[in-house]
Chains A and B, each alone.
Chain A
Amino acid sequence: MPRVLRYARLLGVGVLGVSLLSGCVANNQAASHTAITVDSSAADCAISANEAPAGSIRFTVTNSGDQVTEFYLLADDGLRIVGEAENIGPGLSRDLVVQLDAGSYFTACKPGMTGDGVGKAEFTATKTDAAATMDVDLAAQIDTANTSYSSYVSDQIDQLVTGTDSFAAAYESRDDDTARSLYASTRVHWERVETIAESFGDLDPKLDLREADLEEGQNWTGWHAIEKDLWPQDAESGFEAYSAEKRAALTRQLVADTATLQDKVEGLTFTLSQRTNGAIGLLDEVATGKVTGEEETWSHTDLWDFQANVDGAKVLYDGVRPILLKTHAELATSLDTEFASLQTLLDAQRVGDGFKLYTDLTPAEIRALADQVNAVGEPLNGLTAALVL
């Protein structure tokens, strides 16, 4: 399903994302936090306290100047960014929540977003019993997970390209049985990394637009346009099978757009919060499109997409699971359980290499899947807060 803002979610967090530094990985969920206010004016960065107990600290930054401002929390070298709140418009407030180890830091504001900033001041997180120091290996583990996820994305898109070529060849040569057999199994590679694939706002509508999302007069291309021609039994009366020219044009475009996608994902890197939120994004794709049977209107192969979205979310989760086990073991247990339950429900619908058609599911089966998606989604919501803050 085409999603307009996934790319904003992705790019937004990418450009502005919380930097992953050793100081940011939480060791335990603090029951309470220290609240500190920061007044960012034209010439100053007035902070309500210059020390607080180590642990969860919330800086409420108010921009009392007339320029866009930024607030920085820097490590003891005065350079490394531990946390930041950016793009704060004049008159607005923004909260920055960080998990700080005991130690020395600096705070500073940067009205106008240029120059060295103003009001740089020392800030101390004092030692407490509750705030343990963090495992130095964690940061390295996160780096490793980032790299392996980039490889996973590239691999899925490579397989998508190969599969699309075969699918396109079969469809264009009117070997419809083969094309139908390749449709769902090829799209799986798209669906596994759907939130990344969709992050390219111009490609997504070309490749994955549903008919309902068209505006009047818009040219319809991509997977679902071909899907309708391959499974025309539910089409409106008067629907005409596509001409050879139209088939050729659609396949050319599909192959070309998929190749462009391959170029674009090359070398992409991801921050931790992009990955944890990417897992939620994939679950949301299931919740809004697949569990409702709206994604594959004509082929009804929604469960293939469903499984692929879950696969992608599980890969993202598995990447951070070793870290989570050390810092938030209960959350990891809960996610393990819920993911397993979801997989059990999906496995019950397997037929041969694939799945039952969506139209063959009973309302009770659909309901059970929907409930379990929510059951996974809720603990998944806690992942970013647990790992990034």
Chain B
Amino acid sequence: MRRSLKNTSTRGKKAESGAASSAGPSNPASAAPAAPAHRLSRRGLLGLAGASVAGIGLGVAGDRTALAAGSEEASASAVYPFYGSHQAGIVTPAQDRLHFAAFDVSAGTTRAQLIELLQDWTVAAAAMAAGQDIGEYGAVNGPYDAPPEDTGEAQGLPTAGLTITFGFGPTLFETADGVDRFGIIGRRPADLTPLPHFPGDDLDDGRSDGDLCIQACSNDPQVAVHAIRNLSRIAFGRAALRWSQLGFGRTSSTSTTQSTPRNLFGFKDGTSNIKAEEPGVVTDQVWVAAADGPAWLAGGSYLVARRIRMTIETWDRTILREQEAVFGRTKGAGAPLSGGTEFSEPDFTLAGREDQPLIGAAAHVRLAHPSQNQGMKLLRRGYNFVDGNDDLGRLEAGLFFISFQRSPAQFTAVQLNLARHDALNEYIRHVGSALFAVPAGTAEGSYVGAPLFA
């Protein structure tokens, strides 16, 4: 059974309006009005409790209080609105946890059904981002003889800065066989073509591509998983999971309020990432401009995902001298080898012995730097992962790289430079790859990607 969530109101809104719970028509047991406190989801309540610290009274819905990330308390109680001019989860200060999912639209799904799915996803995503259960009755307040609408594992958890970001893959517009399933081939962005093969790519189809994607980020792993789980469930019959990825620790910061985390090689990477506090750079490098075309994508972005497997066992046998030479940074402080502190600009000309530059020609920091890539930057938003171990007893570890950029050409230029020359290639392998067009933000009452179908 498909459940259209388009017209359901969220529990948070019901609480705001003070409306009585509508009883399940066929089950008196479930009709008992819940105590007022239960009108809000438990997560909503916790969100409010956090918000009250910031001086917001309990009587006001706490679901629009975006608090600055930074403190532990703030990271738990942070709420980022789902609706807005850009989708959340891009310049939002990178949360600690990720659950990313790619979907294929099911055979036989019509254009109208696809739109309906996006509408249902929108309503559910907005509710979850506000710390509410999905559906009319949520996890535990529905008809006693029906499966609950919300899966329930996020009850009692704070919103934890949940963002849910949607994207459209090239195959949504045209299948590999050239079929235009949804009448949108004419709206396909010229840039939305599969990424080229890069040297060293060892891609697994089962971890690559997809018609649709959802990036769920949160400071609580279970909140992120709850989002993907429920959105997958909503999609059953219309779209099915193609692949998904958990990330347990952010590897980049997208705000100057955040410290730079470490990747599984033990290094601070992505120090010079694009930050939300640089609106000019964000406009120039991240958001698709109206003039870039197509019109429906203006204010959106392109998302590149790469599953990068790290052979950490080999890395761990590598001498410190080489480890630092590979990155071009010190392992401790993260300063460029040319000197200074973590945030000092690398000096690629400063030479040491034998007149060789302190930051070598194959150093990662050099090859990834905008000065070596025609000024191009990527907004990186990757996550560390360890998915158990492989058949050889090695940790199945790596970096789930995510970047947002105004054009995929930015990624392709930087990645080609890295794939050709990066000293790091000895220790990594790209095993999954995907590209998605990320539409602009959604206005309340509309649905994500609506301009594409307008």
Judge: A and B partners, yes or no: yes
Determine if A143 is an interface residue (Cβ-Cβ < 8 Å).
Answer: no
**In the bound complex, do residue B201 and residue A9 qualify as a contact, i.e. CB atoms below 8 Å apart?**
no
Chain B proximity of A208: nearest CB distance (Å): 14
Which residues of chain A come closer than 8 Å to B392, judged between CB atoms? 291-292, 366-367, 370-371
How far apart are the CA atoms of A11 and B200 in the complex, in Å? 24
Chain B proximity of A303: nearest CB distance (Å): 15
Which residues of chain B come closer than 8 Å to A93, judged between CB atoms? 330, 332-333
**In the bound complex, do residue A89 and residue B423 qualify as a contact, i.e. CB atoms below 8 Å apart?**
no
**In the bound complex, do residue A89 and residue B322 qualify as a contact, i.e. CB atoms below 8 Å apart?**
no
**In the bound complex, do residue A90 and residue B339 qualify as a contact, i.e. CB atoms below 8 Å apart?**
yes
In chain A, what residue has the closest Cβ to B330?
A: A92
**In the bound complex, do residue B314 and residue A68 qualify as a contact, i.e. CB atoms below 8 Å apart?**
no
Stretch at the interface among A48-56, A279-287, A330-338: A279-287
Determine if B144 is an interface residue (Cβ-Cβ < 8 Å).
Answer: no
How far apart are the CA atoms of A306 and B264 in the complex, in Å? 27
**In the bound complex, do residue A15 and residue B354 qualify as a contact, i.e. CB atoms below 8 Å apart?**
yes
Task: Give the residues from 314 to 363 in chain B that come closer than 8 angstroms, CB to CB, to chain A.
Answer: 314, 317-319, 321-322, 325-326, 330, 332-333, 335-341, 344, 350-354, 356, 358, 360, 362
In chain A, what residue has the closest Cβ to B319?
A: A277
Chain A interface category by residue count: 35 or more
**In the bound complex, do residue A86 and residue B322 qualify as a contact, i.e. CB atoms below 8 Å apart?**
no
With A218-B199, A371-B393 known, 10 other A-B pairs at CB within 8 A are: A6-B426, A9-B319, A16-B353, A63-B339, A68-B352, A89-B337, A89-B358, A215-B198, A215-B416, A215-B419
**In the bound complex, do residue B352 and residue A216 qualify as a contact, i.e. CB atoms below 8 Å apart?**
no
Determine if B55 is an interface residue (Cβ-Cβ < 8 Å).
Answer: no
A-B contact pairs, 6 of them (CB 8 A): A16-B321, A63-B339, A91-B335, A212-B201, A291-B392, A363-B391
In chain B, what residue has the closest Cβ to A294?
A: B202
How far apart are the CA atoms of A226 and B394 in the complex, in Å? 31
Chain B proximity of A83: nearest CB distance (Å): 14
What are the interface flags for B15-53 relative to A under an 8 Å C-beta threshold, 1 for contact and 0 otherwise?
000000000000000000000000000000000000000
Task: Give the residues from 245 to 295 in chain A that come closer than 8 angstroms, CB to CB, to chain B.
Answer: 277, 280, 283-284, 287-288, 291-292
Q: Which residues of A contact B (CB under 8 A)?
A: 3-6, 8-9, 12-13, 15-16, 63, 68, 86-87, 89-93, 113, 212-216, 218, 277, 280, 283-284, 287-288, 291-292, 363, 366-367, 370-371, 374, 377, 380-381, 384
In chain A, what residue has the closest Cβ to B315?
A: A284
In chain B, what residue has the closest Cβ to A291?
A: B392
Determine if B420 is an interface residue (Cβ-Cβ < 8 Å).
Answer: yes
How far apart are the CA atoms of A89 and B333 in the complex, in Å? 13
Which residues of chain A come closer than 8 Å to B333, judged between CB atoms? 92-93
Chain B interface category by residue count: 35 or more
Chain B proximity of A102: nearest CB distance (Å): 28
Best-surrounded residue of A6, A92, A214, A291 (most CB of chain B within 10 A): A92
In chain B, what residue has the closest Cβ to A384?
A: B319
**In the bound complex, do residue A91 and residue B200 qualify as a contact, i.e. CB atoms below 8 Å apart?**
no
Determine if B311 is an interface residue (Cβ-Cβ < 8 Å).
Answer: yes
**In the bound complex, do residue B426 and residue A68 qualify as a contact, i.e. CB atoms below 8 Å apart?**
no
Which residues of chain B come closer than 8 Å to A92, judged between CB atoms? 330, 333, 335, 337, 339-340
**In the bound complex, do residue B352 and residue A5 qualify as a contact, i.e. CB atoms below 8 Å apart?**
no
Which residues of chain B come closer than 8 Å to A212, judged between CB atoms? 200-202
Chain A proximity of B205: nearest CB distance (Å): 14
Task: Give the residues from 182 to 226 in chain B that come closer than 8 angstroms, CB to CB, to chain A.
Answer: 196-202
Chain A proximity of B182: nearest CB distance (Å): 30
**In the bound complex, do residue A5 and residue B326 qualify as a contact, i.e. CB atoms below 8 Å apart?**
yes
Chain B proximity of A338: nearest CB distance (Å): 14
How far apart are the CA atoms of A16 and B394 in the complex, in Å? 33
Chain A proximity of B202: nearest CB distance (Å): 5
